[in-house]
Structures are given as C-alpha cells and as structure tokens.
Amino acid sequence: MTLVRVAKCFLFFVWICLGGERLLGQGSFTIGFDDLPAPDWGGDPVPDNYLGLEWSNFYVYDLSHAGNPGYTVGIISQSNAVFNAYGYLATLSSGSRFNLTSAYITGAFEDGILFEVRGFAGTDELYDKTYGLPGAAPEFIEFDFLDVDRVEFRSYGQYQANQFVMDDLTIAIPEPRSIALLVLGVCCFTFRRKLRR
C-alpha cells in the first residue's frame, strides 16, 4: 500500500468518525408521510424507494379522505398516515440493515384487532410480536427490532375490515462509528510505520 493510499484511507475514516456518514443517511428519523401528495381517492400506494425503503401494500391517505373515525384519529403527524390496503400483509424492507424503533398504530375500523409484527434478517426470523389495537385512539408501540432488513405487518380482526393505521414511524440506521474507529486505528498504525521507513 502506497503512502498516498494510506493517507486517503486515513482522511476518509476521519471524515466518518467526525459525522460525515450522516450525509449518507445514517441516524434515526421519524416518518410522518406528510411529504407525500394527497391521494385522488381513499389512498395511493407509498412509492417505491420512498426514503430509501421498499414499501409493499402500504397506502397513504390524508384527513380529507379519512372517512372512518379510526382513520381520522390515526393521523398523528400534520396531515397524512398509511394503512394496509384491504387488511392484507404489508411489508417494509431495505437492502441494508435498520432498526425498527416505534410507531403509532390504530385499528382503522374496529377495536381489539390483533396486530402482528415480524422482523427478519435475510431468511432468519429475529422477532415476532403481537399487540391488541384500539380503534378509538392511537397506540404508541415500541418495537425495538434491531438489525433487520425486512419487517412484516399483519392485522387480524373479527371481520374483513381489519386494516391498521400507522403514523410517526421511527427507524434508525445503525451508525458504523465503532468499525470506523477500528479501521482508523489500523490506518494510523500503518501510516506511522510507512513514515518511519
């Protein structure tokens, strides 16, 4: 390894350790869905690669299309929330690992629907939790699913109208500071040895 390459490696990892990786989307953030356009009808699919994530069977709606009271009270953020269309399985996934932290969840039509959340890393199931959802008010749920790349959300009710509403979803991208510091140390050691020669 030449001195120039070692110096470039050194500067790159100094940049990471000083917080430059946040420019690449690291850290924790809450998704309120309010930047998505208002749907023309009851709901529109959340676009592919929205905020760098893949959304399957999540539909966005706003207050003017809320209709049922469960949809109305389920909006926590400014104007929008999402729901699982037709009460079917909805999936959130990414090409890299993330932490599913928390969200506000509401039963759209009825009280007491069961809400199951499963977290996966590749084909390995790491988490499987089930909650009872109220329809009169949102339930704040702390998932604490760490290092997953796919999460399945499923709702079960007495009737077919068993959709759930989700808003203010918080996820986190694990920050690679510890790895960066380790590699930085190796780079410094190598750089110092090169200078002595």
* pLDDT tens-digit series, residues 128-170: 999 988 777 899 999 999 999 999 999 987 665 688 999 999 9
Examine the pLDDT at 110 and tell me if it is beyond 90: no
DSSP 21-69: GGGGT-EEEEE--TTSPPPSSS-EEPPTTBTTBEEESEEEEEGGG--SH
Boundaries of every domain in the chain: 1-26+176-197, 27-174
Q: What is the pTM of this model?
A: 0.75
Q: Which CATH class is domain 27-174?
A: mainly beta
What is the predicted pLDDT for the residue at 70? 76
pLDDT tens digit sequence for 69-105: 778 888 999 899 999 998 899 999 999 999 999 999 9
